[in-house]
Amino acid sequence: MTRKSVRLFAVSLFAIALATSAFAGSNLWTYKNPSDIKWHKLSWNGNIIFGGDTLACIDAQSGQAIWTRPDLNGLTAYQVSEVEGSPYLLVTKNSMTGTKLSALNVETGKTFWETEKLKGATIGVFPHPTKDLVLILTSGSQGQGKTTPDMIMLNLNDGNVVWEQKFADKVDLHQADQRSRWSPHYDLSGHQPPIFEGDAIYFTYGGAHRYDVNTGKMAWAVPYDVTEGRLKRANAQAVIDGDLIYTSAKGQLRAVDKNTGIVKWISKDYGAGIAEMQMRGNIIYGRMGGTFFDDKKNEWDLKKPLGIVAISTSDGQPTWRYDKMKDSITNILMLDEQKTILIADKDEVVGLSTNGQEAFRQPINFKHKAGGGEKAMKVARFGLGGLKGGLKGMSDDKKMDDVPVNITMMPGGLAVVRGKQHVIGFDPSGHQVTFANAYEAPGFAGWQKFAMISMTAMSYTMNTAGAASTSFGSSSNTMYNNSRQGDLSRMSSAMSKRFSSTKAAGKYVYMLTQVEEGKDKGAGLVAVELANGELAGQVLLRDKEPDYVVDELNGQLYNLRGNSIEAYSIRTTVR
């Protein structure tokens, strides 16, 4: 590679390029509530839902309230769940007498139905990918530790109970990703979600379990310990192929007959969490190690070895193992046409052939370190997922490094490698870095939380989607890649269009950095087009403690400040 092929952009130059823009960074509207807003989130239909003294929804285009529900006050963010691809907004409200679940129309705020059948606080909401059913898991204890969840399957159309069942084994709860400002909440976010296939539901909580979708009866259970201390998401999503389901737990893989529950084989212990599995033919490629959040110690723990192991599906024996990654590791990117596996660490993008041999090693310039105000912070290396905390076992100097976290393949064949403050374009066919953007770290406390949420959402969504849990090219894989809901007629045309548009998301990445607008300078966001690394827009956040969400589809940012929500345009163009 020659340095001429690399274009390193400084954010100050980007700001100059946007100085004449009348759109990027402009305030679109400000919504003011009579009292403080406790939280806000972006609805999948593009509007903003918030909670405080009322539950309400704001139109993203006008900034006007579409609906308010004062009767649903005092709710935390984790008590409000959406059924993506449908008009249902599920709201749970706890009282001394029990838990009420209300299904609202996300467009109007009106109640579809209510039920008081739930037994305790909600710890997991899982819609069926093709049927109008939703599985809700609850617990009588909201505290840290083990619980035996109650399960209830509801009909989305009317709220009627299809079945109720007690889960067979105790499972560990972890701190919720969306935490309350008043008290911690524990849920199933540290585990991978269940897999729906035909009339079966497969769980990997406390081992492997199969239940019947229609009756709730357990077909079989294979209990074993799945928790690596208090680490979150250290195990991969299970993979189904033919009559077998493959699971990972505490560095070991298992093959279980999905019809009988008979364990076919158990692999050796690879000494680190296998947090990702990709199947091709008769080989499972498992990613060894990574950086995982320990919600008990409130810190990040780098688990080694770091690399990939290829395991035969016939007997669980390794065909090869590669453990030469240094101090960090990204997700696995399978390049099927090239029969190559792409992965990156702190220094290089590595291409491995499917027989485990190095096809290439390309240095990448991830040399930016934290500077200025954040030197006193604990800035960790991130593998997949999390919110905050220091990194166990690493020096302060290494904690400041920015390292690759995610690799994403663009439609044109370009691989994009991301860190907190870096975006790098890499051409796998020519083994060339096509662009390299480094951004100065922003100057407000807690900025890394937002950077991590943005990065890890890409990895977590990719690795836990239904399509990732079924064998590449299988009928189940096709089912998950199709529309989640067959009955879209209940949604408005705008919602249906939005739902279709979400499948095309991923053209831009939003980086926290220092931004200049005229004479003003401070923390802000830049929108970077992933196809070429060019800047598409920016916004200056005039807030010492910003609390924002970004809508990738329309290029807008919504910042919560006290009793107000402010909307800004980030991009100069809208898809």
Using one digit for the tens of pLDDT, what is the confidence trace for 185-238? Answer: 888 988 999 999 999 999 999 999 999 999 999 999 999 999 877 788 889 999
Amino acid at 74: G
What distance in Å separates the CA atoms of residue 384 and residue 405, rounded to the nearest whole number?
7
Is the per-residue pLDDT at 245 higher than 80? yes
Lowest mean pLDDT among 52-66, 161-175, 539-553: 539-553
Is the per-residue pLDDT at 14 higher than 70? no
Burial environment of residue 198 by CB neighbours within 10 A (0 to 12, 13 to 18, 19 or more): exposed
DSSP secondary-structure letter at 271? Answer: S
Are 553 and 455 in contact by the 8 Å Cβ rule? The answer is no
Bond before 70 cis per omega within 30 degrees: no
| H-type alpha helices, 391-520 | 396-400, 447-464, 475-481, 493-502
Where does the pLDDT of residue 483 fall: very low under 50, low under 70, confident under 90, or very high at 90 and above?
Answer: very low
Note the residue count of the chain: 575
What distance in Å separates the CA atoms of residue 87 and residue 83, rounded to the nearest whole number?
7
What distance in Å separates the CA atoms of residue 212 and residue 137, rounded to the nearest whole number?
15
Lowest mean pLDDT among 5-19, 183-197, 260-274, 287-301: 5-19
Whole-prediction pTM: 0.84
